[in-house]
Structure 1
Amino acid sequence: MQDLMISQRGVLRWRFLWLSIFCLALLAGGGTWVKLRGGKDATAAQKPVITLEFSPSDIAIAQKRELQQVLPLTGNLQAFNQTLVRAKVAGEIKQTLVREGEAVRREQVLARFDTMDFQSRLNEKIANLEGARAQLSLAEKNLQNSQFLLQQKFISQNAYDSSQSNLLVGQANLKSCQAQVDLARNALNDAVVRAPMDGFVAKRHVQPGEKVSQDMPLFSIVDLSRMELQAPIPASEIGNVKLGQEATIRIEGNSGKAYSGRVERINPAAEAGSRSIMIYIAINNAERTLRGGMFATGLLNLSKTPPVLAIPVSALRSENGRNYVITLEAGKLAKHFVEIGQTAEQDGLVGISSGLAESAQVVTSRMDGLKPGSPAMIKSESGKPAGAETAKG
């Protein structure tokens, strides 16, 4: 009996011990949970507000400006002065002295014909001329004798008139022979082909030994000092194009360099089929870097608009087909839907017809996730906040 009581007391002691340990564990876990919850609440309460920082180059001021109206251009370049040297005489080419790509000067010899036949013809005509002179001299003497004999009444008036007629025929024959000599001499001179202007040989059409006919092409020469862009313009826009308007031209494959041009001519007739009208823009090519046949694009400067509210094109954004801008107002971002007007492509500006106030600070940088109402500021290069006056992009 005594052993049974001792055993029950031991069991009670163990149960009390385990119950105490369980209570202590609950108290410790509850304290930890309260501490963690309290820490999370404190962290949430102390989370800082993030302020977006923009550099002055990311902000532009909406202000009124004159926008330059432009007209896009496309076309091919041609040398302003170019010529096709043709054969003035028929004969055999004995020598060619230039090849494609070579520079030539005015009156420089390009080729020579075989001159044997030309020289023979000239000698023949000179001989005929000398014979005509001799006949004229004889006719003059006969007329003098006839005049003396007529005065002495040894010959009739008809005989005298015949002598006078022979003199006139001799004079005409002399002039004819002189003209034939001049033609033969010119043909001999034309057997030497010379450049009619300064330039470059674009194409040589003949080779030594070839027989050519009169007026056959021999050489193509172009003057590269001045080029011309031939650009078609829609008939609806031709009324805005005027002589003297300036253009900026870029060459395909060399878009990094821009060339200045000026409208010099406007074709009076439309092109068949396209109904466009060709304009001709002169381009200075003193460096000889441009070549005929190059494809070019450009912008023709038309008239300027009256002052309109304008912002950089990079500030425009789109949402569901509507244009809007992000502005910085009172330290926060704001969103404004706008209606756009004309665009000045060469200046990178677009006109705003409604939806934006003058002097508004618009964000031009293409940053994602810009939400209206977010705190924002302009930060100067020194790292300090900058005033609105420093953000005139």
Structure 2
Amino acid sequence: MMVLILAALLLFLHSCHRQEQSVPKPQAIRVSTVTVKGEEISVPYETKAYLEAEKDVVLRPEVNGRVLELYVDEGSYVKRGQRLLKIDPSQYENTVRQLEAQLQQARVQYQNLEDIVRRRELLFQKDLIAKEDLQNVKTQLRSQEEVIRSIKAQLDNARLELSKTVLRAPFDGYIAQRMVNVGDYLTVQSPTFRLVTLDPIKAVFQVPQELLPYVKEGMEISLRVEGVGERKGKVFFVSPVADNNRMITVKALLANDNRQLKPGMYGVVSIPTQKLTLFRLPENAVVLRGTQKVVWRISQNTAQPVNVEVVLHQNGTVYVRGDLKDGDRIAVENAFLLREGAKVEER
């Protein structure tokens, strides 16, 4: 009986030994690493901005009348002083002709009175007429001078009104909209064309009051517009007042020589603010662990998690802050496979 028990015990021990030999040891995870070093980075504040033309006006005529001709259409580029439309000048031409005739008659009358004055002066010198007769005709001459000046003023105004029958561009720009047709009767309140400039163009955005120390006139900003790319600009206006939400309006001018930026478009403006010491890593070095973002610090071939905050993200690179120090080796390739205490093999 004892022999059977001893044989069973030996068989059991041999079986356990074989099971222990069959359990594989955990393999080390192969990773690549980078060595980090803190960098002082100017962290930008980003916010949405909308674009508007530096000059954007709706043109209205300065005189009333019916449209006789249109010289430009929507999309046209016009130079300052270029003709845009012409209003029927007939009534203004008639007014000019009438005043020119009146002026001519007044000048003839003035010359007649001058002759009379000269003759009466001679008669007065010979005591042939009373002094009052001479004074009366001189008074008439001065009155006629006033008549001539009045008619000249009216004629100048009439000629000016006549010149205004041609509407001209007040500055170089593009016709963004035409709101008139040939034959329309216009008053001085009638809209005709919307004229805008495209280069330079304004970016308008808002910043919270706590960022006001970082926003100054003349500072450079960066604007990123989807489909266009990134453009640089300079701040030229910082509002002296805040709105009800304690936000400050800021405006910047951007070069737009290729006219790709259009009024009404939106972009993201980036403003340099405070400087922080951050660690630069490839973006795949940062992994999610529950709700936390972590990187895996490798020490003595063992992985340990370090919670980090991603402060900046640029083209596949992230800048993070956390409990890191210069010289730490951080796992990159296969970082998503790691667990706390996992053994690793560096490539």
Under a length normalisation based on structure 2, what TM-score does the superposition of the two structures give? Answer: 0.85
1:87 to partner: Cα distance: 0.5
Instruction: Give the 5 Å matches for 1:7-156.
Output: 42=21, 44=23, 47=24, 50-55=27-32, 59-156=33-130
Matched, 1:203 2:177: yes
Query: Which residue is 1:214 aligned to?
Result: 188
Q: 1:310 aligns with which of 260, 279, 297?
A: 279
Matched, 1:325 2:299: no
Conserved? CA contact 1:111–1:192, under 8 Å: yes
Give the whole-Å Cα distance in 2 for the aligned partners of 1:93 and 1:195.
16
Query: Which residue is 2:4 aligned to?
Result: none
Deviations 1:268-317 (A, max 9, x none): 2333x444221102121111111111122221123534xx2424484455
Q: 1:178 to 1:51 in 2, by over 3 A?
A: same
Give the whole-Å Cα distance in 1 for the aligned partners of 2:220 and 2:73.
37
Conserved? CA contact 2:57–2:196, under 8 Å: yes
Matched, 1:297 2:268: yes
Structure 2: unaligned runs, 5 residues or longer? 1-11
Deviations 1:191-221 (A, max 9, x none): 1111122211111122211111124322111
Matched, 1:259 2:236: no
Query: Which residue is 1:235 aligned to?
Result: 209
Conserved? CA contact 1:311–1:351, under 8 Å: no
1:114 to partner: Cα distance: 0.8
Q: Percent identity?
A: 22
Give the whole-Å Cα distance in 2 for the aligned partners of 1:366 and 1:81.
55
3-state SS of 2:267 partner = strand
Deviations 1:90-147 (A, max 9, x none): 1111122222222222222211111111111111111111112112212222222222
Aligned residues: 335
Query: Which residue is 2:318 aligned to?
Result: 348
Give the whole-Å Cα distance in 2 for the aligned partners of 1:62 and 1:360.
6
1:360 to partner: Cα distance: 0.9
Q: 1:232 to 1:165 in 2, by over 3 A?
A: same
Q: 2:241 aligns with which of 260, 269, 278?
A: 269
Structure 1: unaligned runs, 5 residues or longer? 1-32, 380-393
Give the whole-Å Cα distance in 2 for the aligned partners of 1:154 and 1:270.
85
Give the whole-Å Cα distance in 2 for the aligned partners of 1:50 and 1:98.
78
Q: 1:361 to 1:158 in 2, by over 3 A?
A: farther
Give the whole-Å Cα distance in 2 for the aligned partners of 1:364 and 1:153.
123
Larger radius of gyration: 1
Under a length normalisation based on structure 1, what TM-score does the superposition of the two structures give? Answer: 0.75
Conserved? CA contact 2:31–2:335, under 8 Å: no
Conserved? CA contact 1:229–1:282, under 8 Å: yes
RMSD: 3.0
